[in-house]
């Protein structure tokens, strides 16, 4: 399998692999050796874009209420033998403890738990009431100037908020957001494909980092079979996933036609959008990394007719 390619991350000057390995609800739930294997396989296949984030413990066994995910990620990353300078590492500013914790304190906490000196990219979640864009840009600009952060992006922001950030960044002489992490899949094409979002991203010089591309696993096709197990097994009647569960059947037929599996084809759909710099995915085994990374090869091999047929899935 050919190594995945690189794409520019907006106007930041940073180039990232077109597939990004996430760690949401992953490494503290699988054996340590498997986690190291996942990270090593990603490196072997050419991934250089890693995403980590703090979240609250859901296992009931972590030694801290929030952020143990960052501790485990840092330990596994170092155990994998990967050099820090070889990766583009992303994390998030949640503003969860604002105003007691401003951006600097939140990032410092993440760095300490991860055992890292700096983050390449921090996605800012939508700001809480009372936190102004002037403050956000000022505080992030200070982190970039201090070397704790190379670039910043936004997480699920509306277009008008991105435009406001671009204007404020220009006024303060701070780099604008270079990336927007947004849900994007065969069944969730808005807001990525909306004209307002396209205009906002163009104004920022920002790329999309696509998330939720498998719709929580619904587009893998596994839930089309009776008795399937997984995160969605007890929520198959949830209205939120109905469109994806319906599309999964069409995607299975399409995958059979290409002699491929549905999951990498769903990822390939997102890769076909020129605004997408990278598609974020999670994996609990090295084999799953291999399968998902095959999306890059699938996307590059599609002709116009195949792309048109794929694009019809999930519409209506």
% residues pLDDT > 90 (the chain): 84
pLDDT tens column, 243-273 = 988 999 999 999 999 999 999 999 999 999 9
Q: Is the pLDDT of residue 186 over 60?
A: yes
Averaged pLDDT of the chain: 94
Question: Which pLDDT band, with edges at 50, 70 and 90, does 43 fall under?
Answer: very high
- Residue whose structure tokens are 């999309």: 208
Question: Which pLDDT band, with edges at 50, 70 and 90, does 1 fall under?
Answer: low
- DSSP annotation string for 20-63: EE--TT-GGGS-HHHHHHHHHHHHHTT--EEE----B--SS--S
Mean pLDDT value of segment 40-45: 98
Cβ atoms within 10 Å of 75's Cβ, excluding its own: 16
Q: Is the pLDDT of residue 227 over 70?
A: no
| Lowest-pLDDT choice from 92-101, 182-191, 222-231 | 222-231
**pLDDT at position 171, please?**
98
CA angle 82, 213, 294 (to 5 degrees): 55
36: nearest Cα among 285, 314, 287: 285
Element spanning 173, H or E: none
**pLDDT at position 316, please?**
66
pLDDT tens column, 110-164 = 999 999 999 999 999 999 999 999 999 999 999 999 999 999 999 999 999 999 9
Q: Is the pLDDT of residue 206 over 60?
A: yes
- Residue whose structure tokens are 């890059």: 296
% residues pLDDT > 70 (the chain): 95
Question: Which pLDDT band, with edges at 50, 70 and 90, does 305 fall under?
Answer: very high
- Residue whose structure tokens are 């999930």: 314
Q: The pTM is what?
A: 0.95
Mean pLDDT value of segment 87-93: 98
**pLDDT at position 46, please?**
97
Q: Between helices 262-271 and 304-312, what is the axis angle to 10°? A: 110
Q: Is the pLDDT of residue 233 over 60?
A: no
């Amino acid at each position: 399998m050919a190594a995945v390619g690189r794409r520019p991350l907006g106007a930041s000057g940073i180039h990232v692999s077109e597939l990004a390995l996430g760690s949401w609800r992953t490494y503290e739930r699988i054996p340590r050796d498997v986690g190291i294997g996942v990270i090593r396989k990603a490196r072997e296949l050419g991934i250089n874009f890693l995403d980590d984030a703090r979240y609250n413990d859901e296992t009931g066994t972590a030694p801290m209420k929030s952020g143990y995910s960052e501790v485990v990620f840092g330990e596994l990353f170092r155990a994998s033998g990967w050099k820090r300078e070889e990766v583009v590492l992303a994390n998030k500013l949640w503003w969860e403890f604002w105003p007691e914790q401003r951006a600097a304190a939140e990032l410092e906490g993440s760095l300490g738990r991860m055992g890292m000196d700096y983050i390449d990219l921090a996605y800012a979640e939508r700001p809480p009431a009372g936190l102004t864009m002037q403050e956000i840009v000022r505080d992030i600009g200070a982190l970039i100037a201090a070397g704790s952060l190379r670039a910043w992006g936004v997480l699920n922001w509306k277009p008008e908020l991105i435009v406001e950030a671009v204007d404020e960044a220009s006024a303060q002489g701070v780099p604008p957001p270079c990336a927007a992490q947004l849900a994007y899949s065969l069944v969730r094409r808005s807001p990525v494909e909306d004209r307002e979002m396209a205009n906002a991203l163009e104004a920022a010089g920002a790329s999309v980092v696509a998330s939720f591309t498998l719709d929580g696993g619904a587009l893998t096709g596994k839930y089309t079979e009776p008795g399937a197990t997984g995160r969605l097994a007890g929520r198959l009647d949830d209205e939120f996933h109905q469109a994806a569960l319906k599309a999964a059947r069409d995607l299975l037929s399409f995958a059979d036609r290409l002699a491929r599996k549905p999951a990498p084809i769903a990822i390939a759909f997102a890769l076909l959008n020129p605004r997408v710099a990278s598609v974020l995915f999670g994996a609990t085994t090295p084999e799953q990394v291999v399968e998902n990374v095959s999306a890059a090869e699938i996307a590059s091999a599609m002709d116009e007719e195949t792309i048109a047929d794929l694009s019809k899935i999930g519409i209506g």
